[in-house]
Every structure is written in C-alpha cells, then in structure tokens.
Amino acid sequence: MPWDLLTLVFIIGLVWGSFLNVCIHRIPLEENIVFPNSRCPACKAAIRWHDNIPLFGWLLLGGRCRDCRGRISPVYPAVELIAALLTLTTVLRFGLTPTGIALVVLGYALIVLTAIDFEHYILPDVITLPGIAIGLLLSFTPWFAPPMASWQGALWGAGAGGGGLWLFAWLFRKISGKDGMGQGDIKLTAMLGAWLGWQALPFTIFGSAVIGSVVGIGWILTSGRDRSLPIPFGPYLALAAWAYLYLGPAVYAWYLGRLATSF
Ligand SMILES: [Zn+2]
C-alpha cells in the first residue's frame, strides 16, 4: 500500500480516536456524544478548534489547558494514538476490505469499552447490546471473510459463548457466594462471539484469564493494591480477542498438533 494512503489511514484513525475520547468520557455520564463541543475538564472553557487537533494539540500545549493551564490527562492523546495504530495495523493486515473496516469498528468499540471499564468498572449496555446485534446482522451478509464469523459461528459464539459464561458465573456465585464475573463481561463475550465466531472464544477466554492473572498479581505486588477491589476484566477480554486476530490460528494449529501426537 502506498505511503500517502497509509498516512491518510493513520490520520483518519487519529480523528476517530478523538471521537472515541468523547464517547469514553460522556457515555458513562449518559451525556450526548455529539453536542456540545469539547470543553476543558477543569475550567470548562471551550477548546479552540486548532488546539483540538488529535494528538498534536495536546503535544503542542504540553498537556495543559490554554486558558487555565490545568493538566489535561495523557489518556486523551494515548487513546488517539492507539486508535490510529489500530486502524493502520488492521488495514495493513486485512486490507481496505469490508472485513478490514468491520474489524476497525470492532477495535474502536473495544478501545471505548476498555477505557470505561478501567475507570468505572462497567461495560455499558449501550455499546455491548448493539454490538451483539450488529455482529449477528453482519454475519448474515455475504461481505465478510474470516476472522469475521459465519452466521453459524456467530450464533454459536453469541449463544454458547454468552450462555456458557452466564452459566459459569451463576455456578460460581452459587458455590462461592461471591460475584466472579460481571454481567458486562458476559455481554462483551457474547459480542466477541457474534463478531469473531465461537472459534475465537476458547483463545479469548483462556488468554484473558492469563493476562488478567499476570496483571492482577503485578498490580498487587507493585502498588499494594487492595485485593478486595474489583479487577476490571473487560480490558483483558478485549486484548485477548485482539491477540486472537493475529495469533489464534497458529496457536490452535500448534495445540491440535500436540493433541494428535499425544495419542
Ligand atoms: Zn482549562
């Protein structure tokens, strides 16, 4: 793909990242994501259009508001940069195809869910429920190729994935008397199943448990984080699902090979 097109894809990713920031900060507060324009979180001054340029606006202002000099969180430019890199790498890997574009949209939803879950410990229904429906709808159209799900894969993914996890959470609560997995995590798993098929779920669930354990233990060791605090699980599901796009088929082939030689 030519450089000028790749640059354009990167810039489009930055602009979308700026919109994802709006979603991340307004959806948990149930605010309108279109109006009003962005304001400084500290002094509420409207942000000038030339300071609102994704990533570079923050860099040029040194991470401070032009009006009150209050610090503006580095999470804003980080989300823009991550969205741009996700857009670029997904287009490079899956092309400017319906599949590539759909996966970019899925990636954007996962960025918003991850950021909200880290801060508020929720995965809002306004993203996951339409996410499940759209994934199922797309699977019935003829436009998409793997790793997007076939309609059979999507139905099994959303149904068995969501249902299986719901059952697991229910059993866990019955036996231990504690909440293991949140309703939001179950809906996110069903959403991932609807988009990527049931095939993605063993890798995603196992992978998220591994990432979650490593991060959770590291978190407790380094910061002495209180163990009784909830650990947001959505980010690890999202990260593991994204790893599946790149590593899933190779890991499954390796595992099946091991299984075959052990008989
Ligand atoms: Zn300000």
- Give the alpha-carbon dihedral of 245, 131, 157, 163, to 10 degrees: 130
| Most confident listed range (38-47, 142-151, 163-172) | 142-151
Q: How far apart are the first and last CA of the chain?
A: 46
The C-alpha atoms of residue 101 and residue 155 are separated, in whole angstroms, by 21
pLDDT tens profile 223-258? 766 666 666 789 999 999 999 999 988 888 888 888
Q: Distance, CA 21 to ligand 1 centroid (Å)?
A: 17
CA distance 127 to 105: 12
Distance 15 CA to ligand 1 centre (A): 22
The rounded mean pLDDT for the chain is 90
Span from the CA of 66 to the centroid of ligand 1 (angstroms): 6
Q: pTM of the full predicted structure?
A: 0.91
pLDDT digits (tens, 9 = 90+) for 197-223: 999 999 999 999 899 888 878 877 887
How close is the Cα of 39 to the center of ligand 1, in Å? 8
Amino acid at 7: T
C-alpha distances (whole Å) from 77 to each of 15, 98, 246 are: 11, 28, 25
CA of 64 to the centre of ligand 1 (A): 8
The residue assigned the tokens 């590539």 is: 100
3-state secondary structure of 162: helix
Average pLDDT for residues 8-21, to the nearest whole number? 96
Q: For the chain, what are the domain ranges?
A: 1-96, 124-263
Q: How far is the CA of 45 from the centre of ligand 1 (A)?
A: 6
Q: How far is the C-alpha of 34 from the C-alpha of 74, rounded, in Å?
A: 22
Centroid of ligand 1 to alpha carbon of 75 (angstroms): 16
Tell me the CA–centroid distance for residue 52 and ligand 1, in Å: 13
How many distinct helices (H) and strands (E) make up the chain?
A: 10, 0
CA of 47 to the centre of ligand 1 (A): 8
Centre of ligand 1 to C-alpha 46, Å, is: 8
Of 43-47, 135-139, 187-191, the least confident: 43-47
Give residue 133's identity as a one-letter amino acid code.
A
Distance in Å, CA 13 to ligand 1 centroid: 26
**Cα 76 to averaged position of ligand 1 atoms, centre (Å):** 15
